[in-house]
């Protein structure tokens, strides 16, 4: 994890359970005798998130519709810290596909005082994200916009005359739901335990997109060129190292001025952040 990540060490489960007693129902004993939270249970992850956001980020209200993606906070926070290293003086950020959780704007505004425009194509996610903003006075610098055109990423979201120091995105990684479910099962097999499905939940638009991650990445890079003068750095999470070669070739063709790959260690899964500017 990033050196600045406040969750680098183990959770103080006793303190967290005191704040949210229901967490005690999801404690387990690990093979080496430690007490841990059952991170394979969606309800446990949801309760942990809600408790951390209340305690550490002073949120009065945070909730999600049933089945929607519950993002693990430590990994999301690492992305925020990597962006702060990339652009130390950043002040305005565009979050593509913010989800109902609004997690990146919450963390970025609280950790670094950034203002955000958060976008999503799912009307339910937009409604819930706007509710989170309205119910928490400290999020007044967060604006949530509805993307109505499925073929667009930046278009209609970056308005004339606007400038963003950074864009960020946690894209759908799969081409369809069966592929997403299969990936979840493969993860559990790798961990040597029974299949628990999609632990962190997720509705269709959060999990998959036509053509999968590679096509999404290609479309994002292609569209970014039109907004070269309105964005300092474009960034996105990339799940597979093999996708970076094709992305670099495309960026070379578009005359990107600089391309960087930032490592993001998320436990058993190695991720990376692709960043480029024109």
pLDDT in tens, 204-226: 554 456 778 999 999 999 999 99
Question: Per-residue pLDDT tens for 136-178?
Answer: 988 999 999 999 998 999 999 999 999 999 999 998 764 555 5
pLDDT at 191: 43
pLDDT value at 37 more than 80: yes
What is the arithmetic mean of pLDDT over 89-93?
A: 98
Confidence of residue 249 (pLDDT cuts 50, 70, 90): very high
Buried b (16+ CB within 10 A) or exposed e, 79-116: bbbbbbebbeebebbbbbbbbbbbbbbbbbbbbeebbb
Mean of the pLDDT values across residues 81-109?
A: 97
Q: What pTM was estimated for this model as a whole?
A: 0.88
- Indicate the average pLDDT of the chain: 89
Which tokens sit at 208?
């998959």
Q: Using pLDDT thresholds of 50, 70 and 90, give the confidence band for residue 40.
A: confident
More confident residue, 196 or 32: 32
pLDDT at 184: 46
The confidence score (pLDDT) of residue 145 equals: 98
Domain boundaries, the chain: 64-277
CATH assignment of 64-277? 3.40.50.150
């Amino acid at each position: 994890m990033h050196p600045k990540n406040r969750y680098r060490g183990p959770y103080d489960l006793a303190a967290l359970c005191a704040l949210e007693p229901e967490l005690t129902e999801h404690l387990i004993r690990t093979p080496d005798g430690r007490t841990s939270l059952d991170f394979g249970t969606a309800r446990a992850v949801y309760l942990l998130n809600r408790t951390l956001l209340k305690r550490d980020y002073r949120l009065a209200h945070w909730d999600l519709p049933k089945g929607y993606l519950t993002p693990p906070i430590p990994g999301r926070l690492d992305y925020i810290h990597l962006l702060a290293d990339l652009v130390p003086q950043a002040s305005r950020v565009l979050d593509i596909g913010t989800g109902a959780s609004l997690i990146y704007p919450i963390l970025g505004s609280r950790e670094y005082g950034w203002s955000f425009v958060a976008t999503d194509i799912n009307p339910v996610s937009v409604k819930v994200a706007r509710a989170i903003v309205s119910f928490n006075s400290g999020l007044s610098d967060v604006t949530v916009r509805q993307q109505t055109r499925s073929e667009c990423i930046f278009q209609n979201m970056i308005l004339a005359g606007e400038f963003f120091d950074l864009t960020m995105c946690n894209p759908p990684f799969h081409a369809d739901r069966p592929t997403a479910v299969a990936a979840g099962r493969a993860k559990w097999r790798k961990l040597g335990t029974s299949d628990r499905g999609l632990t962190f939940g997720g509705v269709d638009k959060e999990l998959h997109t036509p053509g999968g991650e590679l096509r999404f990445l290609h479309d994002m890079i292609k569209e970014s060129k039109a907004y070269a003068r309105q964005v300092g750095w474009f960034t996105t999470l990339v799940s597979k190292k093999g996708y970076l070669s094709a992305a670099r070739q495309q960026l070379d063709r578009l005359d990107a001025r600089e391309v960087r790959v930032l490592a993001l260690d998320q436990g058993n899964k190695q991720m990376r952040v692709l960043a480029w500017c024109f």
